[in-house]
Amino acid sequence: MEIFTATDYAGMSRQAARLVSAQLLLKPDCVLGLATGSTPLGLYSRLIEEYKNGDLDFTEVRTVNLDEYKGLAPGNPQSYGYYMRENLFRHINIKPENTFIPNGLATDAAGECARYDALLDSLGIDLQILGLGENGHIGFNEPGEVFMPSTHLVGLTKSTLAANARYFASLDDVPVYAYTMGIGSILRAKRILLIASGPKKAAALRAALYGPVTPALPASALQLHGYVTVIADAEAMA
Ligand code: F6R
């Protein structure tokens, strides 16, 4: 595992963008695994900037997102589909048909999980970008008793609902179920980039990197992967 400390959020975003850019330059038709949330926003802004400067080309890139709320249409401003369009896709030259995200409106949850797993198997992720939950979750793999191998539907924990409530009118509006890639799907990515920022992530980051590997702290599974890069700002690394 390679671990880099950046001075602040902007530095973390800059370093992370360098790594993603290098991936795109080395393999223009790469498959990127993407995360939502506040942490990757700075990274996405920098990728947009580099695209606008003519330094990056997304024509051949395909993307797969980690997760999506169950019950939200892609046009819903709180959905992760909407987040991706607004914060990255509509600003770059990626083909919409090359971007994949679980279908929050699927009526057959098991079928949707199987469809997404088949897609992940056929694409193969070159670089998976991950944020980190305060409780150590990655994607929406919440602390539990087992590492889930594949895409599944999860009930979100109180702490995650509370953390996500900032994007909704009230806590009651936060969807309580989400589709997420499993820990197994994440570990099948060839390379993983974990980014973390701020003091609220410090305890989870320490446990993930230096604690026991346990489903009680899902990010600790990253210790089992051979090619993980962690870029965190000084507050998260504290
Ligand atoms: C979102 C996701 C989540 C977030 C995590 C951190 O797609 O997979 O695991 O990465 O909840 O969220 P932020 O970055 O908002 O602190």
| pLDDT attached to residue 160 | 80
> 115 pLDDT exceeds 90?
yes
Determine if ligand 1 sits within 6 Å of the CB of residue 131.
yes
**Ligand 1 mean position to 233 CA, how many Å?**
16
The residue type found at 82 is Y
Find out whether the beta carbon of 35 lies less than 6 Å from any atom of ligand 1. yes
Give the Cα separation of 186 and 40 in Å (integer).
17
**Tokens 């009526």 appear where?**
107
Domains of the chain listed by start with CATH number: 2-233 (3.40.50.1360)
- In this structure, the strands spanning 67-69 and 177-180 are antiparallel
Separation CA 96–CA 151 (nearest Å): 22
pLDDT at res. 33: 98
Q: Pairing mode, if any, of strands 62-65 and 31-34?
A: parallel
Mean pLDDT confidence for 71-81 = 92
Q: Which of 129-143, 158-172, 187-201 has the lowest mean pLDDT?
A: 158-172
Ligand 1 within 6 A of 37 CB? yes
The model's pLDDT over 84-110, given as tens digits with 9 standing for 90+, comes to 999 999 999 999 999 999 999 999 999
Over residues 215-232, mean pLDDT: 98
